[in-house]
Chain A
Amino acid sequence: MTGNPQRGRELYLTGCQSCHGFAARGIPGTAPSLHGVGAASADFYLSTGRMPLDDPHAQPDRTEPAYDRQSIADLVAYIGSLGGPAVPQVDVVGGRLNLAEGQRLFTENCAACHQIVGRGGVMAGAFVPTLLEATPRQVVEAARVGPYVMPRFSEAQLSDRELASIARYVQYAKHPENPGGWALFDVGPVPEGMVAWLIGLLALVLVIRMLGRNDAP
């Protein structure tokens, strides 16, 4: 979908300029300049509903996008015209992508915060969002842009192909294969440990009960 930067500028003036300023150069202490952030950043923030943000000091959370798809494309075209990286083209269906490599890279680079199946969590000073609704393009944009307090990943660290593998793994992790048993909503090792403790404790109590049996008359 191609956007119209003229219409984007009009939408910008009604929806964004109160924080980002008339010339999109930012307002100190409130919002950053948008010159050079690029279309990728604008597409990420607008398509995930993180912008516009009611309170500039709040963490931008994923919500329903405030604009329809054409309006987002127009706004992205306008911000893109101010310079910066373009919206990445991501094709996770392509045959060269490796799901196993994606999982390995996700484990190394993303799972510390986002949790191994991408359900999110907390970190000091911020919430880590779940990736259940993230599209492949949004995953790639977030890694390159580093929204809010998320670190950035340069091409030296993760190549485009590696990043696409990660995006493919994120799609897989929305409905991971569970070879058996109860998946426990994929929230990670804490409830699994609880189950082990409860069953293990019960077994121990039974063993103690048997040991304590008294054969004397």
Chain B
Amino acid sequence: MRRWLLAALVLLIGKLRRRRALPPGRPVREPDRRAENITFLFLLGAMAAAAAFIVVYFANPDTQFLGATLGLALVLLAGACAVAGKRVVPQIEGVKERPELGDAFEQDEVMSVIAEGGEGVTRKRFFLLAGGGAAGLVGAALLTPALSCGPEANRVLSLSPWQRGRSLVDERDEPIAAAGIVVGELVTAFPSGADKEDIASPVIVVRVRPDELDLPDDRRGWAPEGLVAYSKICTHAGCAVSEYRYPSYGPTAPGPAVVCPCHYSTFSVTEGGKRIFGPAGRALPQLPLAIDDEGYLVADGDFSGRPGPSWWGVRQ
């Protein structure tokens, strides 16, 4: 198998080399209209794809479409550069002895010689326009996402579906009975009536023995019957914190914690979501819980901090 792969590789490289060794039959100075047309087409395509990226960004910012349009724009731009470099711009190299440039007349002469270098290209103006347009549009497309860091970002990121009295539901929108959660079990919950894909929506609910709890002093009453809730989104890179370890016998095993499967950030569920291991920079935000008259779980306020991955300025 490996020998065959090697043989194929050697053949392929050999073929490339042989073709290169052929004498260049193409007259260099003759304009290649077909190559120019292809370059134009590529540049126009790159412009269209870059424009599409900007449209997609504002209309329907789906990462698949964003990636596809930007990728297409870059590929077409690269194609245009490749064709232009190989077939449109004259490929000739020469070294010519020159005396020192003494006066303005000689300088003018040199300038004209350099200008003649581009004679093989027709429609130069059009070329410049298309190239500049493509570069400008692709550049604009690359800069557009910076708008996401604007003042709107802070407002959007601080929106939270959680408030006092909002009930917790499971993924089938059924309310969650407090008594149904046993010690050692991990339950994922969402705010009723909210978008489950919102970064502030998913929470994990676990029950620990009340004597295990070691919450900060200002969070007394946040954990009725030892039920605690935390944002399910890791504060490091925004993965879903989906691993739960609860020792069946505490003294001989690691303590109760949730673990993010991406980079093993570990948060203690008995100590208010404190980070005890891994790359996350801050604790998991805790959601104050209450139990309503019918025994179902409701939120007793908003998170203790901002849910979601950390970015500049958000470390609390």
Contacts and interface: CB of A to CB of B under 8 A. Distances in A.
Partners in one complex: yes
A31 B252 contact: yes
B249 interface: yes
B20 A214 contact: yes
A215 B243 CA distance: 58
Nearest to B28: A216
A96 interface: no
Contacts of B92: 216
B12 interface: yes
Contact of B259 (A56, A123, A216, A217): A123
B247 A148 contact: yes
A123 B245 contact: yes
Interface string B6-27: 0000001100100110011010
Contacts of A28: 251
B264 A56 contact: no
Nearest to B245: A149
Interface stretch (B29-37, B129-137, B149-157, B181-189): B181-189
Contacts of B183: 152
Nearest to B265: A124
Contacts of B181: 154, 156
B253 interface: yes
Interface residues of B, number: 41
A65 to B, nearest CB: 20
B278 A113 contact: no
B138 to A, nearest CB: 19
A31 B250 CA distance: 9
Interface in A14-32: 28-32
Given A112-B242, A145-B248, A206 B182 contact: no
Contacts of A113: 243, 261
Nearest to A112: B242
B244 interface: yes
Nearest to B254: A125
Given A31-B252, A153-B185, A216-B91, A124 B259 contact: yes
Contacts of A112: 242-243, 261
Contact of A32 (B26, B82, B242, B249): B249
Interface of B: 12-13, 16, 19-20, 23-24, 26, 82, 86, 91-93, 177, 180-187, 242-249, 251-254, 257, 259, 261, 264, 266, 277-278
Question: Nearest 6 pairs between A and B by C-beta?
Answer: A125-B254, A149-B245, A152-B184, A32-B249, A124-B266, A112-B242
16 contacts: A56-B252, A124-B266, A124-B277, A126-B245, A126-B253, A145-B248, A147-B248, A150-B245, A151-B186, A152-B182, A153-B185, A156-B177, A156-B180, A157-B187, A215-B26, A216-B92
